[in-house]
Structures are given as structure tokens and as C-alpha cells.
Structure 1
């Protein structure tokens, strides 16, 4: 089951738009719902009024669970909601009870966060699975959102868990980021070993990149900032490539370490 929450955990709507993309692309149906009572502050997450068949209707914040039928008869579930304001543990417990009713065996939480990264490079996606955490999660200490709480409670209940976060260029503000949604969709596709229909996401991502470039070119300060981010991104990528298993430098280091250890075992002086 995929889970995405609008608000603090959803920079530029990149995470929640993955769910919207999947429900609009594939055959789906609503299977469960969590009502808003007791979970929301309506001054923070306001109900909205809409007109259907000439009648006014108030729509309250709520959580919706969808069954999505992928190609080849593969089925997944998706949860989408505004991040609740209150009673997170009760909310997550109710979510996991629904997951149990639907025979879900893996919980995948999606999120997006503003970060110092350039729009001219692939947007980084951090993935943690169970106890195998990405470097960012291992080093982070600070406030968390409800995806982290849900992920932790799901793991305690014995679910396989995966957390995916895409980084969004901070200098672009809240401009909806289709590139972030595309990166997350591809990460989910790889996780479930099933190709997901990207639909119009690649085209929207190209338009996002074009708009981002236009905004950048309007300010010399922003342009220089992006250039600094590009240099840092490229330097980090080069360092990661050098340190990766199989890289010449890494192989040389392994050989030297093995020779040192063999010498120690044979009593050879260093």
C-alpha cells in the first residue's frame, strides 16, 4: 500500500500527485475511508464547498483508500489524505487496521522535501527499507511527519516497510513539481518490479524544467545560486562514483587492506 499525505510532508505536491496520477491512469475504486472527526483543525485544513448538479455541497477533509488494478492483474492499494493535526497514533492504528483488512503486506510511505538541489540535475530520491536506512535517515535528528510515524508503527506490527523521499529545489517554492512525482513513480515501479504507466508525467516534467529555467534566468542571484548547486551536485556524484564498489580507487583500497591483513596474519612487519 502506498501512502502520501498533503502538507508538511508534500513539498510541491510531488508525493500526493503520485497517488493522483495512479488513480487517474488505472482502473481504481474507493475501498475504505477514514472520516475527519477528531483528526483535523478546520482552521488549518478547511472544508471546501463545491457545486454538484446545481447543489452546494461541503467536502470535509478525509482519508481515502483506493484499490488500483495495474496491468497484468497486479493489485495495489493507495492512501491519500491531508496530514492530520491531532491523534497521530490513533490515526496510524486505524490505518494499519484497514491495511490488515485488505491483506496488505508492505507499507510504502511517500514524501517530498525542499532541499538545496538544482533543477538541472536528476532530483535525488532517498529510500529506506526496514532497518536498511539511507544515509540521510541514519544521520537525521529533528521533527518528523506522519509518514515517519506510520512507517515506524507498521514496522513494529511486522509489515515490510519502505520510505521514499524526493528532494525538491528549494528556490522554486511551491511550484508543483512533476519531475519529483516522476522520480517517485519510477522508484515505486522499481520497488514492486512492475513497470508503471508514466502517462503524461514526462511531458509535465519537461514543462516544469522549462518554467524553472525561465524563473532562474529572471534573477542573476538565483542563477548563480543554481550554478553553485550544480557544482556541488557534480562533485558529490563524482565522489560517490569513486567510492562505489567496483570503482578503481575502491578496488585498490580493498587490495591494500587485504594485503595488510594477510601480512598481519603471517606475522609480517607493517
Structure 2
């Protein structure tokens, strides 16, 4: 898809406002918070599989192993694959979703095939979802970073370093004329790899705010409360961890206060933000 064709596609797609949500298992999916957002949408709303990307060219089966499944007395192998869904939300609003393990090989070709499918579906905007382990407390709203193309938005910070397939897909989408956004939630690294419904809810809330729709997350909220309660029990039973979480809470509250005051536009508030960020960088070293 050349650039001139891509620009024409994007202009035409604005009429439909079609959005493709993409999430990938693996390095970009701490506690499965991102992929579980897609799974929740598929389970909660009317959905159907509409496209797949053949797996053989993109996966190392010693890393992304096939799964053995027994159904009705028959033995089946389920291979890693990319699945695209057409999801109809309440009130007739439609979105598309892509879910897959992060590919092991040929990322450029993989992104090219993904965007070709998005083009076929007249998608206007690609929104990638991700979750990452971070130094943040489970007792506060999990930090969410949202970036919209070249504009850094809520919670977003400049980043230099290794990236995963969501970022590569973002860059490829931009190069081919798609509007693109990314949403990342931070997960407390001290809690291990159990599923984090609190992170999934944060992503769905951010996504809903972005597309103008309130997602039903009632079944996730109970799981999120259980996750928080279990985390609190763990912290109470470990004095060292308790002190560490208190330190994270202090940093979090300081950062929130600084950002709130900075939003007033006062010069002294801006200076407070700089001091708070410098303090957090120092504590991280």
C-alpha cells in the first residue's frame, strides 16, 4: 500500500470512523491486562471472527508453543495465530479488534499484513493496547499513558529504548497514512504475573473515553477488588514490602499533586512538577 493510496484510504475512512484495537500477548502484556481487554470485548458484546493471519511465517513454536485440546473425545492442536474480530457494541457502534501472541519473526511483514486487513475493513484509526510492569502502588489508580499520534497526551512521557510489536505497528500505521493511538497501563511489578483486572478496566475506561462509549466492566470490577485485597494481604505480611509500597504511595501522591497544580498554569506549579520528576528519577537510581 503506497503512501498516496494510504492517504486516500484514510480520508474515505473518516466517514465511517472505523477503529481497530490491537493487543499482543507476551512482553507487551503484563498480567494479560491488554489482551484481556480484547477478550472482554469479544465475550461481552456481539462479535465474530472475520480475518486471520497465517502463523507459520511469524512464530517460533519453541517459544509460542501450540496447545493440545481435547473436545468431544477428539484431540486437537491449537496453533498460535492472529485473529481479527468484528465487535458490535450496544447502540450499534462497531469496532474491530486484533489479538495475537507477539510474533517472533518478520515484524515488518507482519505489520504490513495487519494494515492490509485494516485497509480492507476501511479502518480509520489503529489503537494499540499494552501493559507493563512498573514501580507503582496497587492502592492507587494504576497509571495510564495515552499517546495520540505525534501528540503526547494523558500520562504520556517521552521514551527511548527497546519496543515491542505494538510500537512497531504504531510506526507502520503512521507511515501508511493511518491515524494511530496507543494506550499503556502500568502494573505493580511486586505482585507477580497473575491476571490484573484492575489494569484491564483502566485500559477499557481510557478506550471508552477515547471513542465515546462506556464499556460494561461490571464482571471485571469484582475481580479487580479481589486482586487488590490479595495484594493488600501480601503487603501486610511483609514489612519490607509494606515500607516499599508506602514509598511508592508517597511518590505517586507527590506526582499527582504536582500535576494538579501545574494544570493551573502557575510558574511555581511548573517548577514543582520539575522538582517532583527530578526527585522520582533520583529515587529510581
Would you call these one fold, judging by a TM-score over 0.5?
yes
Match of 1:219 in 2: 238
Partner-residue secondary structure (3-state), 1:110: strand
Q: What runs of 5+ residues in structure 2 fail to find an aligned partner?
A: 1-19, 271-285
Distance 2:153 2:102 in 1: 24
Partner-residue secondary structure (3-state), 2:151: coil
Match of 2:63 among 39, 44, 57: 44
**Cα shift at 1:173:** 1.3
Partner-residue secondary structure (3-state), 2:126: strand
Match of 1:258 in 2: none
**Cα shift at 1:245:** 3.2
Match of 2:212 among 193, 206, 222: 193
Q: What runs of 5+ residues in structure 1 fail to find an aligned partner?
A: 252-270
**Cα shift at 1:139:** 2.8
Distance 1:48 1:164 in 2: 29
Distance 1:203 1:247 in 2: 40
TM-score (normalised: structure 1): 0.90
Indicate how the Cα distance of structure 1 residues 179 and 28 shifts in structure 2: closer, same or farther if over 3 A, else same: same
- Structure 1 residue ranges (4+ consecutive) displaced by more than 4 angstroms after TM superposition: 134-138, 246-251
Alignment RMSD, CA only? 1.6
Distance 1:150 1:61 in 2: 19
Match of 2:172 in 1: 153
CA contact (8 A) 1:241 1:247 kept: no
Task: Please say which structure displays the higher CA radius of gyration.
Answer: 1
Pairs within 5 Å for 1:65-84: 65-84=84-103
Matched, 1:126 2:145: yes
Distance 1:196 1:92 in 2: 28
Matched, 1:107 2:126: yes
**Cα shift at 1:138:** 5.1
Match of 1:206 in 2: 225
**Cα shift at 1:93:** 0.3
Distance 1:180 1:247 in 2: 33
Matched, 1:91 2:145: no
